[in-house]
Amino acid sequence: MANKFKINRTNLSLWKGIAMVAGTFSFVICMLVLVNYIQINRIDPVNTEVINSLVNRLNENPNDVQLREQIREMDLLVRKAYFTNQWQVKAGGYLFLFGIIVTAIALQLFYAGKQQLPQVSEEEEENIILFREKARKWIVIGGFGMVGITLLFAFLTHKELGNQFTEAATIAKAKHAETKQTNITIVAKEEITEPVVEEKVVEEALKEEIVVPVAEEEKVVVEEAKTSSYKGTYPSKEMMANFPSFRGPGGNAIAYQKNIPIEWDGASGKNILWKQPVPIHAYNSPVIWGNKLFLSGASAASREVYCYDRNNGKLLWTAKAEQIAGSPANPPEVTPDTGHSASTVTTDGNLVFAIFSNGDLIAVDMSGKKQWAKNLGVPDNHYGHSSSLIVFEDKLIVQYDQKKNSKVMALSTSSGEEVWSTARKVKVSWASPVIVQNGDQVEILLAADPCIASYDAQTGKELWKIDCITGEVGPSVAYANGIVFALNEYASLVAIKPGAKPEILWEAYDYLSDVPSPIAYNDLLFVVTSYGAVACYNAKAGEILWEKEFDGGFYASPILADGKIYLMDRKGVMHIFKADKEYVELAPSSLGEKSDASPAFADGRVYIRGDKNLYCIGK
């Protein structure tokens, strides 16, 4: 009996010691998280003042290559600091929970062991039980308190760091407004989109008549939806002959027209066939079907769709988005560089579709008569809605990512009724949908923190997703040769092999975009940044083939046409270079006014929306 009592005493000491060590460990982790939070508040982790000081110096001397490299290195260090902090917060949380669990188990075994000790008097036993209950009560309260405090400060640390980045972006944007053209700018998000299909597929499709089956209109329950094969070829021949959506058919950054001019001058009028004012300013880009060109414009008081004769520039009609059921009385707050009509319209050749900052969605026919309209609810985001619309067969695809209740949906083009809707567990996104054909599957590719995801275009079923992106996502994905490319500022550039189990093939951090989207073409990937850098990557290996610095900075996304890339800078200068492994500049052509819109192409002509006017450029 004495021996047994000795063993129990030994076990009690062991478990008591483990409980004390684990409890102390948990307390230390809790304090470290608290100290980390205090440090984040005391020290600017993104070096806002330092970066802004360097930016101001670069504005005074834009040709200082060494200073540009210093800013790029500082930017890389900031991203590394951000990811290190995220790792510390996550690791600290896991270690703290582990310590609490060990403490709880050790205490439980300690108290269980005490129950096996020799009997004591009834009065002493009652006192022991009372003491034990009080001890357990305070241990539980203290444990949960430590858990709550640790998780609270971990969350606040994450949020505060995000606020620091937001503050840096706000300051940088204000500096940009003062200097008009800042070469290194962290900016608010705007709509952009553009993956790519291969040129061989295009050429083969143009040689043959493509029969596109018309899908039956039906409402699909996403949970019961099944993946369906596609018998046609996407994009269709008719789509390729036109320019029906933001950055072309499928949003894939390719124009299929030939003999596109590479030289013009807005000041002298060289190769400017016509120039017409746009009634209301906006940042969306032109789309074309046949001889008609479409734009939208909006202010806090008015929302409009415009149709121009693309041959002579005559404004054929204006359709107003008004008297729409559910439309809010007051417009939402938006930033000046997003506005109330950042989303580019789309068309299927029968109807034109436009969406605005307040959630109003309108469909008009080719003569401007309203066919249907509805309000999708005011988008809950802090810059303004800018994801562009796109059509697949008889479905209008809408990416509606916001702070809560994000989703992607398909509406019937003929009636506006919901065909399918798929909820998305993502944050606000300003990227636009991209539609590609991968084998016999047509996929909608979307980008938003924290994932790149693919959906069946016919049913809305999620096909795959992979967590690989963070932050306020503006750039859309790019696609070529069965590889998806995605990037965002303060995240990384990733090449993804899609499928049931998607995987990251390679990752890079050198050039990241917050507004312009990349282009994937053959074995090349072209990345454009808002601060004026362009880089060409080996799309399969992730190796940088060439890099080039420009002075103007870029918001517009590049488009590939006739083997050349057309890239408009913020000053209104179109930089045209070969889509090749070596940088070969063809000609910089000035529009004569600022522009943040991507160009459209038709019949050997380029159509560009400037700050105030619409231009047609041709030989």
Q: Kindly state the average pLDDT of the residues 452-462.
A: 97
pLDDT in tens, 208-217: 433 333 333 3
What confidence tens digit (pLDDT) does each residue in 259-300 have?
Answer: 999 999 999 999 999 999 999 999 999 999 999 999 999 999
Last residue of a domain, one of 149, 179, 209: 179
Task: Indicate whether 506 pLDDT > 50.
Answer: yes
Express each pLDDT in 541-560 by its tens digit: 999 999 999 988 999 999 99
CA angle 323, 326, 329 (to 5 degrees): 70
**Mean pLDDT within 553-572:** 96
**379 pLDDT more than 70:** yes
Is 185 within the bounds of a domain? no
Residue 257: exposure state from Cβ atoms within 10 A (0-12, 13-18, ≥19):
buried
Task: Provide Rg for the chain, Cα atoms.
Answer: 29
The DSSP string of 479-495 is EETTEEEE--TTS-EEE
pLDDT for the residue numbered 176: 43
Q: What is the CATH number of the domain that holds 448?
A: 2.130.10.10
62 vs 578, residue with greater confidence: 578
Structure tokens at 310: 């693309």
Closest to 301 in 3D by CA, of 271, 274, 338, 339: 339
Q: Clarify whether residues 340 and 467 are in a common domain.
A: yes
Last residue of a domain, one of 148, 179, 210: 179
Residue 23's domain spans which residues?
2-179
Confidence of residue 127 (pLDDT cuts 50, 70, 90): low
Give the pLDDT of residue 96: 72
Report the range of poorest mean pLDDT among 32-41, 208-217, 259-268, 524-533. Answer: 208-217
One domain for residues 146 and 210 = no
Domain shared by 514 and 585, yes or no:
yes
153 phi/psi in degrees, rounded to 5: -70, -30
> Are 230 and 372 contained in the same domain?
yes
pLDDT of residue 173: 45
Of the candidates 484, 460, 515, the residue with the CA atom closest to the CA atom of residue 224: 460
Q: Is residue 316 very low, low, confident or very high in pLDDT (cuts 50, 70, 90)?
A: very high
Considering the domain architecture, whether residues 330 and 288 belong to the same structural domain is answered as yes
Mean of the per-residue pLDDT values of the chain: 82
Q: Is 69 exposed, middle or buried (0-12, 13-18, 19+ CB in 10 A)?
A: exposed
- Would the pLDDT of 530 be above 90? yes
Residue 208 and residue 243 in one domain: yes
β-strand partners of 274: 616
Same domain, 54 and 132: yes
**Residues 502 and 432 both lie in one domain:** yes
pLDDT at 601 over 60: yes
Asked if 550 and 569 count as a contact pair (C-beta separation under 8 A), the reply is yes
Using alpha carbons only, give the angle 397, 402, 403 rounded to the nearest 5 degrees.
160
- Helices 48-60 & 122-179, crossing angle to 10 degrees? 10
3-state secondary structure of 508: strand
Amino acid at 540: K
Among left, alpha and beta (phi > 0; psi -120 to 50; other), residue 417 is beta
Q: Is 424 inside any structural domain?
A: yes
Q: How many domains is the chain partitioned into structurally?
A: 2
Return the bridge partners of 497, or none.
Answer: 503
The answer to whether residue 190 is domain-embedded is no
The predicted pLDDT at position 63 comes to 66
| Statement: residue 524 has pLDDT above 90 | yes
Over residues 149-201, the pLDDT tens digits come to 656 655 655 555 555 555 554 444 444 444 434 443 333 333 433 333 444 44
Q: What share of the chain is helix, strand, coil (3-state, %, to 5)?
A: 30, 30, 40
- 189 within some domain: no
12 and 98 assigned to the same domain: yes
- Taking only the tens place, the pLDDT of each residue in 6-19 is 445 566 677 777 87
Q: In what order do the strands lie in the sheet with 524-528?
A: 519-521, 524-528, 533-538, 544-549
Closest Cα partner for 457 from 186, 235, 300, 162? 235
Rounded percentage of the chain residues whose pLDDT exceeds 70: 69
Is residue 193 situated within a structural domain? no
- The pLDDT assigned to 342 comes to 97
- 76 and 32, same structural domain? yes
169 and 215 in a common domain: no
Average pLDDT for residues 101-110, to the nearest whole number?
75
Give tens-digit pLDDT for 344-377. 999 999 999 999 999 999 999 999 999 999 999 9
Asked if residue 203 and residue 80 are part of one domain, the reply reads: no
On whether residue 493 sits in a domain, the answer given is: yes
Angle between helices 65-114 and 122-179 (to 10 degrees): 170
Most confident option among 60-74, 164-178, 561-575: 561-575
Task: Please answer whether residues 423 and 406 qualify as being in contact, where contact means their C-beta atoms are separated by less than 8 angstroms.
Answer: yes
pLDDT confidence of 95, banded at 50, 70, 90? confident
Domain assignment present for 123: yes
Give domain status of residue 102, yes or no: yes
